[in-house]
Amino acid sequence: MRQEGRSLANAILVLGFQPNYLEHNRIAVIAGRSVGGAVQRNFAKRRLRSAFQKLQAELEQGYDLVFIARKPILDVKFSSLIESLRLLARQAKILKDEVT
């Protein structure tokens, strides 16, 4: 994905994406050691997966998505995390209402 896909970032997370030409999205969730210890990394990944589930109905299908957590994900409100994810999806033009 690094060579062929695109990526966007904000303070909370990084979104990497590329078309997969399938009828569904595939996701990967990553939290590196910079996020914290194992407990904090697992918490960050659970939050990202949950935020993605809340937003999944609003997304176009047919993409491989990679979410990379950054350290501030541990401290932001869940609603802010969803909005951050929605903003990145809008910038990537993978929100259903954004596609022409």
Helix, strand or coil for residue 98? Answer: helix
Domain 6-91 has CATH 3.30.230.10: yes
- 22-33: string of b/e by CB count within 10 Å (b at 16+)? eeebeeebbbee
Helix axes 78-91, 38-55, angle to 10 degrees: 60
Phi, psi angles (nearest 5°) of residue 56: -55, -40
Please tell me the predicted confidence (pLDDT) of residue 99.
47
For residue 30, pLDDT beyond 50: yes
Per-residue model confidence as pLDDT tens digits over 75-99: 999 999 999 999 999 999 999 875 4
* Whole-number Å distance between alpha carbons of 60 and 67: 16
Please tell me the predicted confidence (pLDDT) of residue 98.
54
Please tell me the predicted confidence (pLDDT) of residue 57.
92
